[in-house]
Structure 1
Amino acid sequence: MQSKTVLVLGANSDVAKAAILQYLAKGYRVIAASRSTGELHAFVQAQVPEKDRVTVCYFDAADCSSHAGFYTALPEKPHIVVYAAGYLKNNEAALLDFEGSFRMMQVHYAGAVSILNIIAMDKDNDRLERIIGLSSLSGVRGRKSNFIYGSTKAAFTQYLAGLRQYLFSRRITVNVIVAGYIRSKMTAGLDLPESLMLEPAFIARAVVNAGTAFTIVPGFKWKLIYTALKWMPEKLVAKLP
């Protein structure tokens, strides 16, 4: 096939790195964008055989004023865009520290809307065929243990749902990956059930192989949890951690 280009935003996350390797294995070129360009360069040097197929760019999800310039300066327009930027602040800490709460809002929602609007409204890019966002089960229902983080993911999911409808006439597919617990640097140190942990490469496969469905929930156990959370009566949700 003719080589296509994937733009990965928030490319320093564990899932994003695994997705980059899988996209490369399928013959894609990758533009990896993150604030942590040094870490990305080290990742490419250590794990990517064909280094000329990866371009590393600086991207700050929270700096919306820089997004138009970032997009204009890309070496080429993408066929696929993956938004994987993430930030986690403990709920109790976020309740006392609005800066932490605001950072989650910026990274998961405001920044995503800013850059994805720019990409979606570039009608000169007739090669754009798919936008994929990494969301979370935490955004399905409000729970007392993580409702600030969850609310930012819920907003992101709803934005992607509307964007999918908006872009339907242009035959651009929008998917949301609604993931459960991922073994990653963001969750390191958290007390999470081992039986429910998913590896970054497993989530990445759901990203790279995304089909036509909007909501993609990787893992059979998490599909059951997603369905239960979605339809659970409020009085039962209130009893959850």
Structure 2
Amino acid sequence: MNKTVLILGANSDVAKQAILQYLDKGFHVIAASRSTEQISQFLSDHSVNLDNIEVLSFDAVDFQSHQTFYDGLSRKPNVVVYAAGYLVDNLQALQDWEGTYQMMNVHYAGAVSIINIIVSDKENKGLERIVGLSSLSGVRGRKSNFIYGSTKSAFTQYLAGMRQHLADRGVKVNVIVAGYIRSKMTDGLDLEESLMLEPSFIASSVVNVGNSFIIVPGFKWKLIYHILRVLPEFLVAKLP
């Protein structure tokens, strides 16, 4: 039987590219999202053979539904990818609690809820890996995006602890710490064009992930990541 990957938040641009790449590698894909019609349209547009893919409804912020969702899976996953995302501009988020709360729930609370359920299933002996899609915005707090960044930072720290928790079971945990991605979530934002990465490039880092915990796709972003980590606070404060 083919290995199974469960992609949560499968309507993101990166996740949709990951679907295609996982299928090319022979996986059975369970694509889960609130936007099932959009995923089905994407698969139709790319003439995908539907024999090895299921499209399921999943709402990251409907916590009460998560156990039922997992129990109802036709196959328990070997690989889990959490790619759900939501973005509200920082100035708006400062005044709009609902937008802030949604980011907290999508990026952190929803991830913790469903991943806790998945790893608590001791009967699934085939679980091999969990991959989370995070962001460089969560590396250091910056005045332009600290609310969004804080939710991604929390997610990254959760996965770091989960990696240790699952080590004895041989389950790998990875986090993709991505920079700017050309996607519907960043459409319309004033971002440096030379730093933009394509969703298919990020998806390749997800699908072909190795053993390192933190993976930063793209040479320029690797450099930025390492600089951000060691930059003195007074210099971080000068960043946008």
TM-score category (smaller protein): over 0.9
Q: Give the structure 2 partner of residue 119 of structure 1.
A: 118
Once the two structures are superposed, what CA deviation does each residue of 1:166-191 show, in whole Å capped at 9, x if it has no partner?
00000000000000000000000000
Q: Give the structure 1 partner of residue 85 of structure 2.
A: 86
Aligned residues: 240
CA contact under 8 A between 1:21 and 1:48: conserved in structure 2?
no
Letter in 2 for 1:217: V
Q: What is the deviation of 1:237?
A: 0.2
Q: Give the structure 1 partner of residue 135 of structure 2.
A: 136
Q: Give the structure 2 partner of residue 188 of structure 1.
A: 187
Letter in 2 for 1:238: A
Structure 2 length-normalised TM: 0.99
CA contact under 8 A between 1:23 and 1:208: conserved in structure 2?
yes
Gaps of 5+ in 1: none
- Secondary structure (helix, strand or coil) at the match of 1:102 reads helix
Following the alignment from structure 1 to structure 2, what is the Cα–Cα distance between the partners of residues 166 and 47?
39
Following the alignment from structure 2 to structure 1, what is the Cα–Cα distance between the partners of residues 46 and 6?
18
Q: What is the deviation of 1:41?
A: 1.1
Following the alignment from structure 1 to structure 2, what is the Cα–Cα distance between the partners of residues 54 and 45?
12
Q: Give the structure 2 partner of residue 168 of structure 1.
A: 167
Identity of aligned residues (%): 68
Q: What is the deviation of 1:48?
A: 4.2
- Secondary structure (helix, strand or coil) at the match of 2:130 reads strand
Following the alignment from structure 2 to structure 1, what is the Cα–Cα distance between the partners of residues 234 and 158?
28
Following the alignment from structure 2 to structure 1, what is the Cα–Cα distance between the partners of residues 125 and 192?
44
Letter in 2 for 1:26: K
Q: Give the structure 2 partner of residue 218 of structure 1.
A: 217
Q: Give the structure 2 partner of residue 6 of structure 1.
A: 5
CA contact under 8 A between 1:45 and 1:51: conserved in structure 2?
no
CA 74–48 in structure 1, closer or farther in 2 if over 3 Å, else same: farther
**Moved runs in structure 1, 4+ residues, more than 3 A?**
none
Q: CA RMSD in A?
A: 0.6
Following the alignment from structure 1 to structure 2, what is the Cα–Cα distance between the partners of residues 39 and 32?
11
Q: Give the structure 2 partner of residue 240 of structure 1.
A: 239
Following the alignment from structure 2 to structure 1, what is the Cα–Cα distance between the partners of residues 29 and 226?
34
Following the alignment from structure 1 to structure 2, what is the Cα–Cα distance between the partners of residues 64 and 104?
14
Structure 1 length-normalised TM: 0.99
